[in-house]
Structure 1
Amino acid sequence: MSLFKYGDLEREIDFTDVEFLENLDEAKELIKEEAAQVPKVGKTADIIRAQCQCYFNFFDRVIGEGAHEEMFGGKTSLNACLNATDALLASENKEADKLNQKYGNYTVQQHGNRQQRRKYDKNNRNKNRGNGTYYNGNR
Protein backbone atom coordinates (compact mmCIF):
# COMPACT_ATOMS: atom_id res chain seq x y z
CA MET A 1 0.00 0.00 0.00
CA SER A 2 1.08 3.49 -0.72
CA LEU A 3 0.14 6.74 0.93
CA PHE A 4 -0.94 9.23 -1.73
CA LYS A 5 -0.89 12.89 -0.68
CA TYR A 6 -1.94 15.87 -2.72
CA GLY A 7 -3.37 19.07 -1.32
CA ASP A 8 -5.58 18.22 1.65
CA LEU A 9 -6.12 14.66 0.40
CA GLU A 10 -4.29 11.82 2.09
CA ARG A 11 -5.33 8.27 1.14
CA GLU A 12 -3.90 4.77 1.21
CA ILE A 13 -3.81 3.31 -2.28
CA ASP A 14 -3.11 -0.35 -2.99
CA PHE A 15 -1.71 -0.78 -6.49
CA THR A 16 -1.84 -4.57 -6.04
CA ASP A 17 -5.60 -4.64 -5.48
CA VAL A 18 -7.33 -5.93 -8.58
CA GLU A 19 -10.48 -3.91 -8.00
CA PHE A 20 -8.46 -0.69 -7.68
CA LEU A 21 -6.49 -1.49 -10.85
CA GLU A 22 -9.69 -2.15 -12.79
CA ASN A 23 -11.08 1.22 -11.63
CA LEU A 24 -7.81 2.89 -12.62
CA ASP A 25 -7.84 1.35 -16.10
CA GLU A 26 -11.48 2.28 -16.62
CA ALA A 27 -10.81 5.84 -15.44
CA LYS A 28 -7.88 6.13 -17.86
CA GLU A 29 -10.10 5.08 -20.75
CA LEU A 30 -12.87 7.47 -19.73
CA ILE A 31 -10.52 10.45 -19.39
CA LYS A 32 -9.32 9.82 -22.95
CA GLU A 33 -12.90 9.83 -24.20
CA GLU A 34 -13.79 12.96 -22.21
CA ALA A 35 -10.63 14.78 -23.31
CA ALA A 36 -11.53 14.12 -26.94
CA GLN A 37 -14.80 16.00 -26.38
CA VAL A 38 -13.16 19.11 -24.89
CA PRO A 39 -13.78 22.09 -27.20
CA LYS A 40 -10.77 23.10 -29.27
CA VAL A 41 -11.92 26.67 -29.92
CA GLY A 42 -13.57 29.23 -27.71
CA LYS A 43 -12.63 31.12 -24.59
CA THR A 44 -9.42 29.88 -23.01
CA ALA A 45 -11.08 29.81 -19.58
CA ASP A 46 -13.86 27.55 -20.89
CA ILE A 47 -11.37 25.16 -22.51
CA ILE A 48 -9.26 24.92 -19.35
CA ARG A 49 -12.38 24.46 -17.22
CA ALA A 50 -13.46 21.55 -19.44
CA GLN A 51 -9.98 20.01 -19.30
CA CYS A 52 -9.90 20.31 -15.51
CA GLN A 53 -13.33 18.69 -15.27
CA CYS A 54 -11.88 15.66 -17.07
CA TYR A 55 -9.18 15.39 -14.38
CA PHE A 56 -11.68 15.99 -11.58
CA ASN A 57 -13.79 13.10 -12.89
CA PHE A 58 -10.68 10.93 -13.20
CA PHE A 59 -9.61 11.46 -9.59
CA ASP A 60 -13.15 10.98 -8.29
CA ARG A 61 -13.34 7.64 -10.13
CA VAL A 62 -9.93 6.43 -8.98
CA ILE A 63 -9.70 7.70 -5.40
CA GLY A 64 -13.31 8.26 -4.46
CA GLU A 65 -16.18 10.67 -4.86
CA GLY A 66 -15.22 14.21 -3.84
CA ALA A 67 -11.48 13.53 -3.99
CA HIS A 68 -10.86 16.40 -6.38
CA GLU A 69 -12.36 18.87 -3.90
CA GLU A 70 -9.87 17.81 -1.22
CA MET A 71 -7.00 17.76 -3.71
CA PHE A 72 -7.52 21.14 -5.33
CA GLY A 73 -9.37 23.07 -2.63
CA GLY A 74 -11.98 24.45 -5.00
CA LYS A 75 -9.42 25.79 -7.50
CA THR A 76 -9.68 25.04 -11.17
CA SER A 77 -6.07 25.02 -12.33
CA LEU A 78 -4.86 22.90 -15.22
CA ASN A 79 -1.30 23.06 -13.86
CA ALA A 80 -2.48 21.65 -10.50
CA CYS A 81 -4.34 18.87 -12.32
CA LEU A 82 -1.24 17.93 -14.28
CA ASN A 83 0.92 18.00 -11.16
CA ALA A 84 -1.56 15.75 -9.32
CA THR A 85 -1.56 13.32 -12.24
CA ASP A 86 2.25 13.26 -12.19
CA ALA A 87 2.19 12.59 -8.44
CA LEU A 88 -0.22 9.67 -8.88
CA LEU A 89 1.90 8.25 -11.71
CA ALA A 90 5.07 8.59 -9.62
CA SER A 91 3.37 6.77 -6.76
CA GLU A 92 2.25 4.01 -9.14
CA ASN A 93 5.77 3.63 -10.58
CA LYS A 94 7.33 3.55 -7.12
CA GLU A 95 4.99 0.78 -6.02
CA ALA A 96 5.60 -1.16 -9.25
CA ASP A 97 9.36 -0.95 -8.70
CA LYS A 98 9.01 -2.18 -5.11
CA LEU A 99 6.78 -5.04 -6.23
CA ASN A 100 9.12 -6.02 -9.06
CA GLN A 101 12.10 -5.99 -6.71
CA LYS A 102 10.25 -8.12 -4.16
CA TYR A 103 8.89 -10.48 -6.83
CA GLY A 104 12.36 -10.84 -8.39
CA ASN A 105 13.49 -12.70 -5.28
CA TYR A 106 10.95 -15.45 -5.97
CA THR A 107 11.44 -16.04 -9.67
CA VAL A 108 13.26 -19.09 -10.96
CA GLN A 109 16.28 -18.33 -13.07
CA GLN A 110 15.98 -20.07 -16.41
CA HIS A 111 19.17 -21.33 -18.01
CA GLY A 112 17.78 -21.67 -21.48
CA ASN A 113 16.59 -24.63 -23.43
CA ARG A 114 18.52 -27.87 -23.89
CA GLN A 115 20.59 -26.58 -26.80
CA GLN A 116 21.52 -23.39 -24.94
CA ARG A 117 22.53 -25.35 -21.82
CA ARG A 118 24.75 -27.66 -23.91
CA LYS A 119 26.48 -24.70 -25.52
CA TYR A 120 26.99 -23.07 -22.11
CA ASP A 121 28.39 -26.31 -20.70
CA LYS A 122 30.69 -26.76 -23.71
CA ASN A 123 32.03 -23.19 -23.43
CA ASN A 124 32.58 -23.45 -19.68
CA ARG A 125 33.93 -27.01 -19.53
CA ASN A 126 37.57 -26.01 -19.99
CA LYS A 127 37.27 -23.16 -17.50
CA ASN A 128 36.41 -25.61 -14.70
CA ARG A 129 39.27 -28.09 -15.37
CA GLY A 130 42.33 -26.24 -14.14
CA ASN A 131 41.00 -24.49 -11.05
CA GLY A 132 41.14 -27.42 -8.63
CA THR A 133 37.48 -28.36 -8.93
CA TYR A 134 36.47 -31.80 -10.01
CA TYR A 135 34.65 -31.95 -13.29
CA ASN A 136 33.94 -35.20 -15.06
CA GLY A 137 31.97 -33.83 -17.99
CA ASN A 138 28.58 -35.04 -16.76
CA ARG A 139 25.94 -32.77 -15.37
Structure 2
Amino acid sequence: MKINNVELQDIDILDYEVAEKWENALEHVEGVAKSIEGTKVSETIKIQCNAIFEVFNTLFGEGTDKKVFGDRVNLMMCLKAFEELVLYIKEQKTEVEKMASKYSPNRVQRRNKK
Protein backbone atom coordinates (compact mmCIF):
# COMPACT_ATOMS: atom_id res chain seq x y z
CA MET A 1 0.00 0.00 0.00
CA LYS A 2 1.12 3.52 -0.67
CA ILE A 3 0.57 6.33 1.82
CA ASN A 4 1.83 9.85 1.17
CA ASN A 5 3.79 8.40 -1.77
CA VAL A 6 5.64 6.03 0.56
CA GLU A 7 5.34 2.29 0.01
CA LEU A 8 4.27 0.47 3.18
CA GLN A 9 3.59 -3.19 3.77
CA ASP A 10 0.00 -4.20 3.15
CA ILE A 11 -1.95 -4.81 6.32
CA ASP A 12 -4.75 -7.30 6.73
CA ILE A 13 -7.50 -5.66 8.77
CA LEU A 14 -9.21 -9.05 9.01
CA ASP A 15 -6.34 -10.44 11.04
CA TYR A 16 -7.33 -10.39 14.71
CA GLU A 17 -4.14 -8.71 15.98
CA VAL A 18 -4.18 -6.04 13.25
CA ALA A 19 -7.89 -5.35 13.82
CA GLU A 20 -7.30 -5.00 17.54
CA LYS A 21 -4.38 -2.59 17.00
CA TRP A 22 -6.48 -0.56 14.54
CA GLU A 23 -9.46 -0.33 16.91
CA ASN A 24 -7.27 0.75 19.82
CA ALA A 25 -5.44 3.31 17.68
CA LEU A 26 -8.74 4.68 16.36
CA GLU A 27 -10.11 5.02 19.89
CA HIS A 28 -6.98 6.93 20.86
CA VAL A 29 -7.33 9.31 17.89
CA GLU A 30 -10.99 9.93 18.74
CA GLY A 31 -10.06 10.63 22.36
CA VAL A 32 -7.37 13.08 21.29
CA ALA A 33 -9.81 14.89 19.00
CA LYS A 34 -12.14 15.45 21.96
CA SER A 35 -9.37 16.61 24.28
CA ILE A 36 -8.05 19.47 22.15
CA GLU A 37 -11.02 21.79 22.41
CA GLY A 38 -9.89 25.23 23.53
CA THR A 39 -6.23 24.52 22.78
CA LYS A 40 -3.99 26.87 20.77
CA VAL A 41 -3.80 26.06 17.06
CA SER A 42 -0.10 25.18 17.18
CA GLU A 43 -0.65 22.81 20.09
CA THR A 44 -3.66 21.26 18.34
CA ILE A 45 -1.56 20.54 15.26
CA LYS A 46 1.16 18.92 17.34
CA ILE A 47 -1.28 16.78 19.36
CA GLN A 48 -3.28 15.58 16.34
CA CYS A 49 -0.20 14.82 14.26
CA ASN A 50 1.41 12.92 17.13
CA ALA A 51 -1.75 10.81 17.47
CA ILE A 52 -1.61 9.98 13.75
CA PHE A 53 2.12 9.24 13.96
CA GLU A 54 1.30 6.80 16.75
CA VAL A 55 -1.31 5.06 14.57
CA PHE A 56 1.22 4.48 11.81
CA ASN A 57 3.88 3.29 14.24
CA THR A 58 1.40 0.92 15.91
CA LEU A 59 0.23 -0.63 12.65
CA PHE A 60 3.45 -0.64 10.63
CA GLY A 61 6.23 -0.55 13.25
CA GLU A 62 8.29 2.06 15.04
CA GLY A 63 9.79 4.70 12.80
CA THR A 64 7.05 4.52 10.19
CA ASP A 65 6.02 8.06 11.07
CA LYS A 66 9.47 9.34 10.07
CA LYS A 67 9.33 7.30 6.87
CA VAL A 68 5.91 8.67 5.87
CA PHE A 69 6.12 12.23 7.19
CA GLY A 70 9.83 12.95 7.57
CA ASP A 71 10.42 15.60 10.20
CA ARG A 72 7.31 17.57 9.27
CA VAL A 73 4.44 18.08 11.66
CA ASN A 74 1.86 19.29 9.17
CA LEU A 75 -1.79 18.70 10.00
CA MET A 76 -3.01 18.60 6.40
CA MET A 77 -0.35 16.06 5.46
CA CYS A 78 -1.23 13.94 8.49
CA LEU A 79 -4.97 14.07 7.85
CA LYS A 80 -4.56 13.13 4.19
CA ALA A 81 -2.33 10.18 5.07
CA PHE A 82 -4.77 9.07 7.76
CA GLU A 83 -7.63 9.34 5.27
CA GLU A 84 -5.72 7.15 2.80
CA LEU A 85 -5.27 4.55 5.52
CA VAL A 86 -8.94 4.65 6.51
CA LEU A 87 -10.02 4.25 2.87
CA TYR A 88 -7.68 1.29 2.43
CA ILE A 89 -9.16 -0.40 5.49
CA LYS A 90 -12.72 0.36 4.38
CA GLU A 91 -12.01 -1.30 1.01
CA GLN A 92 -11.02 -4.51 2.78
CA LYS A 93 -14.14 -4.44 4.93
CA THR A 94 -16.38 -3.77 1.91
CA GLU A 95 -14.88 -6.72 0.06
CA VAL A 96 -15.66 -9.05 2.96
CA GLU A 97 -19.18 -7.67 3.31
CA LYS A 98 -19.81 -8.42 -0.38
CA MET A 99 -18.63 -11.98 0.10
CA ALA A 100 -20.68 -12.43 3.27
CA SER A 101 -23.83 -11.00 1.69
CA LYS A 102 -23.82 -13.89 -0.81
CA TYR A 103 -24.63 -16.15 2.09
CA SER A 104 -27.13 -14.01 3.98
CA PRO A 105 -30.27 -15.87 5.08
CA ASN A 106 -32.57 -13.76 2.89
CA ARG A 107 -30.54 -14.41 -0.23
CA VAL A 108 -30.34 -18.15 0.45
CA GLN A 109 -34.12 -18.28 0.92
CA ARG A 110 -34.73 -16.40 -2.36
CA ARG A 111 -32.40 -18.74 -4.24
CA ASN A 112 -34.12 -21.80 -2.81
CA LYS A 113 -37.49 -20.57 -4.12
CA LYS A 114 -36.23 -20.64 -7.73
TM-score range, shorter chain: 0.7 to 0.9
Structure 2 unmatched runs, 5+:
none
C-alpha distance in 2, partners of 1:55/1:33?
12
Query: When the two structures are superposed, what TM-score results if normalisation uses the length of structure 2?
Result: 0.78
Q: Per-residue CA shift, 1:6-64, capped at 9, x if unaligned?
A: 1324211111101100111111112233344447333x323311221111112212222
Alignment of 1:108-119 (within 5 A): 108=105, 109-111=107-109
Maintained 8 Å contact 1:9/1:70? no
Task: Choose the corresponding residue for 2:47, options 23, 45, 50.
Answer: 50
Query: When the two structures are superposed, what TM-score results if normalisation uses the length of structure 1?
Result: 0.66
Maintained 8 Å contact 1:55/1:81? yes
Alignment of 1:1-139 (within 5 A): 4-7=1-4, 8-38=6-36, 40-42=38-40, 44-108=41-105, 109-111=107-109
Structure 1 unmatched runs, 5+:
113-120, 122-139
Over the residues paired in the alignment, what is the CA RMSD in angstroms? 2.4
Maintained 8 Å contact 2:49/2:78? yes
Higher helix share: 2
Give aligned pairs, total: 109
Higher RCO (CA 8 Å, separation ≥ 6 residues):
2
